[in-house]
A and B are shown apart, each in its own frame.
Chain A
Amino acid sequence: MGHYEAPIREPIIVGDKTWHDVTVDVAAPVEGKANKSWWIAFIIALTAMLWGFGAIAYTIGTGIGVWGLNNKINWAWDITNFVWWVGIGHAGTLISAVLLLFRQKWRMGINRSAEAMTIFAVFQAGLFPLIHMGRIWNGFYTLPIPNQLGSLWVNFNSPLLWDVFAISTYLTVSVVFWWTGLLPDFAMIRDRATKPFQKKIYSLVSFGWSGRAKDWERFEEVSLVLAGLATPLVLSVHTIVSFDFATSVIPGWHSTVYPPYFVAGAVFSGFAMVQTLLLIMRKVSNLEGYITRVHIENMNKVILVTGGIVTVAYLSEFFVAWYTGSSYEDFTYLSWGAATGPYWWAFWALIICNAVIPQLLWVKKIRTNYTWTFIIAIFINIGMWFERFDIIVINLSRGHLPSTWTQFSPTFVDIGIFLGTLGFFFVLFLLYARAFPVIAQAEVKSILKSSGDNYKRERDNPNAVKPIPTEPKKIVKEAKSDVQADDRANSLLESIGTFDIKTQQPDDLKKVKGIGPVMEKTLNQIGIYSFDQVSKMTKKEYDLLDSITDSFPGRAQRDDWAGQANKLKS
């Protein structure tokens, strides 16, 4: 790969990274300790996941009746969530496979996480076809395995069976593809690992990667073959999911536009979810240098294109519903009947989130802005959920026979399971962010010399002074600037008086209830040693103290340190 890239192309890697910087940056989350926000996010996700698992156990133990379904609307949140998660799972493979074949280098910064997201999303998706079964314990009937009944075989006519194959193939190929890409990166962590246990684990998962030229050659070949395998899957999986609906006879489902429209919608929602995750991750894991404006803008362009396809599909369905004047069509999910019927809110949520809001991305300033992108991506995620909800629930609620018309409303179990999968997804993703190299560092290194901003800059202007390489940032809490704290300590001592440690005997401040050994040390550092000083503290001083110590705000006042000290003083 040549190292030249046209200057007009924006750099993909910013921040004057060297090859070593890349290694350190990528290895940092794995080698460092988790921070507070990671733990908070993890605990929330874990709670949601456990709640969801509880709801699933309740469903399996009691019956599908604990959901809000009925004899006319036999699917609702279950399959909505299934299609939603499968759709989300589309971006990963598209980024890693299709863009690989098209030699899009910007994919390298994001493919690892996008693929991880795909796999975790497909896990969630796969849950629903399982748990929505009335008799999950017989779920293996869907597999074409030999059985004692001989001729009893699966029904190859059923789109649900195609789903079984499509999803499992997709998951398998995605995992293999993902893991192949991970091998050199796992090996990198293995080689850097200091703890024996860690080393053992990473040598296991890196499958003995040695970094020889033969390894790299095979790596490149396998990647290409897998990309070739995965590319048709990008199109096939959601096409097959759309067959669940398109091959049926239900008005609104029975629609030839579904396969392309579903694929576009899947990519649309998948990219929105990639945006959502990566915009958070680049901040949290300090990957601003690798996930840059270029990535965000390029993904937004994909969102614009696929969103456009989806919108055109909506318009055509809506047009058909209106143009035929058919009573059946008037109640499909994209019709006047839907827009003003009992599910008007779902209809408009779909239109606004999927068709209207993404149009903002035509504006360059918005599509290159991280915050705006994040907000729009969230809307798309919501909108795509509603799209599936509308397709399933609105169409089923208004079937062929008006006598069978009814509606659906979810129970706490429906909601719990959905939240549970969100939790499960984030649990997996957060664990992934702590244990996996979240950027394909080996690949990123291959483009560093062509797309890194420092190299580009030097190439264009070889005489410029090289900037001094900065130390890689550590993920530790920044120490507060001491200058301000000193000012405050001085003003605090001004009002309560100073204490000369050399001449005076310090009191045992621990006698004051609320002051422990740590707090005593802190107070001593500020210059507070005696009961006399403490007894002079008022509201103003308490606040000053709080602002310096930054711990247990309001505690000193609550415990009335001054009053206690007054008594101890005498």
Chain B
Amino acid sequence: MASNKKYWKSVEELNEDSSIVAKLRQNEFVEDLPTDEFLGDKETLESSSTSRRDFLKYVGFTTAAASLAACEGPVVKSIPYVVKPDDVTPGIADYYATSMANGEDFANILVKVREGRPIKIEPNKLAKTNGSTNARVQASVLSLYDNNRLKGPKAKGEAISWNTFDKELTAELSKLKASGEAIVFLTGTHASPSTQKIIQDFTALYGNVDHITYDAVSESGALDAFEAMYGERALPDYDFSKADVIVSIGADFLADWQGGGFEVGYAKGRVPNHGKMSRHVQFESNMTLTGGNSDKRYMVKPSEQAQILLNIYNALTGNGGAKTTSVDAGIQKVVKQLKAAGSKAVVVTGLQDKNAQLITLAINKAIQSEVVNVSSPRYIRSGDDAKISQLLASMKAGKVGALFMYDTNPAYTLSGFAEALEKVKLSVAFAMTEDETASMSKYAAAIPHYLESWGDVNIQKGQFGLVQPTIKPLFDTRQFQDTILKWIGSSQSYYDYVKANWNTSVLKGTSWNQALHDGVHMNTSTEELTVNEVNIDSAAAALVSSIKGSDLELSLYTKVSLGFGQMANNPWLQELPDPITRTTWDNYLLISRVDAEAKGLTNWTVANGALNGDKVNVTVNGVTVKDVPVYIQPGQAPGSVGLALGYGRVKGVNANMKVGVDAYPFYQNFNTHQPVSIEKVGGVHEFACVQLQHTIMGRENEITKETTLADFVSKPKEEWNAKAHVSQDHQLVEIDNVDLWEKFDDTIGTKFNMSIDLATCTGCAACVIACHAENNVPVVGKHEIRVSRDMHWLRIDRYYSSDMTVEKGKEEGIYGSKGFFEAQEDPSDDPEVTFQPVMCQHCDHAPCETVCPVAATSHGRQGQNQMAYNRCIGTRYCANNCPYKVRRFNWFKYFDNNEFDFNLNNDLGRMVLNPDVVVRSRGVMEKCSLCIQMTQATILKAKKEGRPVKDGEFETACANACSTGAIVFGDVNDNESKVAHIKEDDRTFHLLEFVGTKPNVFYQLDVRNTNEA
């Protein structure tokens, strides 16, 4: 409604002709402002109260304010959920069960997903077997965020769209179909029933199709042997927990042998139970993780291993014809023990030879070994050497029209492949990175990481696993299977395909949703095993004739870190110290001290303590790799050298990951054992080792403890696990009874303790990577590791025994002298090996806590020694005063720093960060927190649910990752808890107990079964 109201401004308006009103229409003010009055008159201006100083103040203030206001605040990218997804609660992690199967590592896993980002891999405890995660599986989550991933399909190096890709490829395929040229699928072992079916579908459509599986490091010998004897191309399963006697001839079964995963069963037999534990004898040339864990290790050259196997076979079966070896006495003892153990024994071998594997199978069959399970074999290796050789030949002959490569990088791993590939008209690499093969192929089809994929896997007969995506594909990638489906004209997605396939052939009426939830599905098969008669004698004869010794023999091996080398661009794995050599970012020629001296090769330390080594040129059958660094390895069999595969990648990896030498050229005819010659060349190699002193310096009973089974069973605890004593009032008293401080009552509430069982710890280092992932531990690079600045919160110390013992020193009369200590520093040529994981010991009387001037590290009510990063000023006094040297200092800013160009230097790589753990800034100390973020979450959860925390609910990343259960974590105030029980065990001891730090981490001593009878 319009208003007729009139508003008066002044009474003047009553007067219609008021000049004031007229003037106001034009002017703002009635009177002119008296500007002249205060500006024109100098004198008034000067006498005004606003002085020149005031003016300057105002100018100064406004300038400062204006410039401050001009400063731009940092732009923080955070995108709120507009519509919150139902299943995402910020701050609450989701877990998805999935499976990893990349041709090398197969595991049923749980993936921790925070706010849509997968950040950690955990073992899926629902899986009966293969639920364990090794270091590579743990680290694989970082490969998802690999900056070098293919971000879309490429043709001859140029990015193209999937439409173009499909158009061109279908055109090519129809041409091929018309011409009838051979199409070959070359894949790694995927053990995926659905993928297998898709390829069959494809074959049905296109006809001349061959599918060849290829394992970079082949288990073809074992597969051939098993196939010959049991009619199925698979690998037998071994349950070492059932074994009383384990004899391994070159089989590194605690690491990657036949796909790994055997440590779980093995560890069960390594704890004395009712006075019994397994006896493990290892014959090997390289010092392996398995050899390091064995009770008795014999150093033999590779060529001798076959003879040893034969001799054992002959002795067991009563055949004659044993040739002498260097370890005959050992073989006799082993045979006696094998015979005594009967079906509770097992013989395994790592020899890559069908005959050797046949003999092993025959031995185990002869003794009716319960350890070997042939009825549900494993499918995690399926490569066939013969077929690969054929493929290479036909490729070279130009007989291959198209080659589709998936999950494999033969241009890197297979010598001769690169040349052969050039002769193939159509080559398509389905790859995650532009690796050696993808960059050579005509088409590189970007495939997603397994954490972005659907799929299935049949790891073992009757054991199925599902692969489900945990994040939307980060890049423009498409699964290999989806591509094939498209090519065969199917409109189905691979997800539908898998689901349909499972519903028809796997689930047998059970729920798909349940299977997807569990990630695993058991399907007990009732198939009868067929046993073929194989002529073992002829195999033995063939084996004998194949033995060719040489002066120096090379054993190629894979490391628990890089394995085949697929994840060479994974900084966590590159920085993971080798459990044996404790060296990072490298491979090197392992050589015995004897051979090194004979050839004038040395390792030496430089002023900052770092290790340097000579270099050699290594030649195998005319193939030479230049400038291979030499590492003198205690326990390396004289006459043998070792070299790790998986290094020396050049394509698809960052510049700072191009480390080590490529040993694949030596892997000729898929034989890990090769005659070799080495020649010293000039130059010095700089190693990056995290441990530089290898022996325990006679401090066994204070650092690690070990006893023999016999002593453990028959002698009182004081003799093999005596408490530390200190002098008080001139009397020796147990350390527990001496205390400078008054003890506060810590029996109320939760008190965390951690137990580490040295008997079951194999040193596999999965815990190290798990800790890396959980706690946002930065990668610092080769140089920083070299100058002893590793950041690992958890390390696995490895000690070799020395020939100089206290007894020997006393005998020789040099005990306590300079010469004695010097001799102790040298590891034995044939050492016993001890592994000891060390993280912050969370001392109740922590030396670090008393010395911090600002109380940045202090004791928690629950027993943890805590770090308040915000409070830390970085005096590093705590690290100096830590007897365990577990504190880690941020010497630099390790994130967003081009000097440290690893995953924390790019937005993609930072996605792996655990939001529950702060990224530490430069200048602060950090260390193991006993995963306080996990324990607090557990407590809060229980509190919300109004119940006490159950035993087993408390976890740390390391304990969770430990497949052998060597690390146990829990509340020691809960009398029912596992850790409380273990604490009362006779094997319990504390690291450096005599210092009186009263740690909350304790160890269980190692027991060695030295029983030779």
Contact = CB atoms under 8 A, between A and B. Distances in A.
The answer to whether A binds B is: yes
Interface of A: 62-65, 68-75, 129, 132-136, 138-139, 141-142, 152-155, 157-161, 164, 244, 247-250, 322, 325, 327-328, 330-331, 336-337, 340, 342, 396-397, 399-409
A163 to B, nearest CB: 8
B609 A134 contact: no
B789 interface: yes
Contacts of B797: 401, 403
A67 B876 CA distance: 13
Given A64-B891, A407-B605, A249 B883 contact: yes
Given A325-B815, A400-B992, A401-B797, A138 B838 contact: no
A161 B880 contact: no
Given A62-B892, A70-B787, A327-B821, A141 B850 contact: no
Contacts of B816: 322, 325
Nearest to B792: A71
Interface in B869-913: 871-877, 879-881, 883-885, 887-893
Contacts of B702: 400
Contact of A403 (B799, B854, B875, B887): B799
Contacts of B178: none
B154 to A, nearest CB: 39
B696 interface: yes
Given A142-B853, A158-B851, A406 B891 contact: no
Interface in B777-815: 784, 787-790, 795, 797-799, 815
B924 A340 contact: no
Nearest to B788: A70
A63 B888 contact: no
B608 interface: yes
Given A400-B995, A409-B607, A154 B855 contact: yes
Given A133-B873, A244-B877, A322-B816, 15 more contacts: A63-B891, A65-B892, A134-B889, A152-B871, A157-B850, A337-B818, A397-B609, A401-B797, A401-B838, A401-B884, A402-B693, A402-B696, A403-B838, A407-B607, A408-B609
Interface string B692-704: 1111111100110
B847 interface: yes
Contact of B880 (A164, A248, A408): A248
B852 interface: yes
A483 to B, nearest CB: 60
A305 B440 CA distance: 79
B877 to A, nearest CB: 6
Contacts, number: 198
Nearest to B997: A249
B854 to A, nearest CB: 4
Contacts of A325: 815-816
B922 interface: yes
A71 B874 contact: no
Contacts of A397: 609
A36 to B, nearest CB: 40
Given A63-B893, A336-B818, A402-B697, A154 B880 contact: no
A397 B921 CA distance: 26
Interface centre among A139, A155, A403 (most CB of B within 10 A): A403
A134 B923 contact: yes
B699 A71 contact: no
A161 to B, nearest CB: 4
16 contacts: A63-B922, A65-B892, A68-B608, A71-B885, A71-B888, A74-B877, A75-B876, A75-B877, A134-B876, A141-B871, A155-B855, A160-B852, A328-B699, A340-B822, A342-B607, A405-B692
A161 B997 CA distance: 22
Q: Which 9 A-B pairs have the closest CB atoms?
A: A134-B874, A134-B923, A325-B816, A65-B891, A407-B609, A70-B788, A74-B876, A406-B609, A409-B607
Nearest to B887: A71
Contact of A160 (B696, B877, B995): B877
Nearest to B822: A340
A152 B853 CA distance: 12
B691 interface: yes
Contacts of B922: 63, 134-135
**Interface bin, chain B:** 35 or more
A134 B606 CA distance: 27
Contacts of B608: 68, 70, 406-409
Interface in B526-552: none
Contacts of A322: 816
Contacts of A129: 875
Given A64-B923, A68-B787, A153-B855, A400 B821 contact: no
Interface string B819-847: 00110100000000000101000000001
A342 B697 CA distance: 17
Given A64-B923, A134-B890, A135-B873, A404 B885 contact: yes
B579 to A, nearest CB: 13
B417 to A, nearest CB: 42
A167 to B, nearest CB: 12
A134 B885 contact: no
B789 A138 contact: no
A72 B892 contact: no
A406 B879 CA distance: 14
Contacts of B694: 402
Nearest to A322: B816
Contacts of B888: 71
A336 B821 CA distance: 10
A327 B697 contact: yes
Nearest to B845: A249
A344 to B, nearest CB: 12
A159 B798 contact: no
A567 B56 CA distance: 69
Given A161-B853, A250-B881, A340 B818 contact: yes
Interface string B676-707: 00000000000000011111111100110000
A400 B884 contact: yes
A139 B873 contact: yes
A158 B877 contact: yes
A71 B872 CA distance: 16
A69 B853 contact: no
Contacts of B921: 135
Contact of A74 (B784, B880, B884): B880
A37 B850 CA distance: 50
B828 to A, nearest CB: 15
Given A134-B922, A141-B871, A64 B889 contact: yes
Contacts of A134: 872-876, 889-890, 922-925
Contacts of B854: 141-142, 154-155
- Find the residue from B787, B798, B838, B890 having the highest chain A CB count within 10 A: B787
Nearest to A142: B853
Contacts of A396: 880
A138 B869 CA distance: 12
Contacts of A136: 873
Contacts of B815: 325
B788 A406 contact: yes
A141 B851 CA distance: 14
Contact of A248 (B607, B836, B849, B881): B881
A141 B697 contact: no
A342 B879 CA distance: 22
Contacts of A342: 605, 607, 609
A158 B10 CA distance: 79
A324 to B, nearest CB: 8
A249 B795 CA distance: 22
- Interface centre among B853, B874, B992, by most chain A C-beta atoms within 10 angstroms, is B853
B794 to A, nearest CB: 13
Contacts of A62: 892
A160 B692 CA distance: 30
Contacts of A155: 850, 852-855
Contact of B789 (A65, A159, A330, A336): A65
A293 B816 CA distance: 49
Contact of A158 (B817, B850, B890, B892): B850
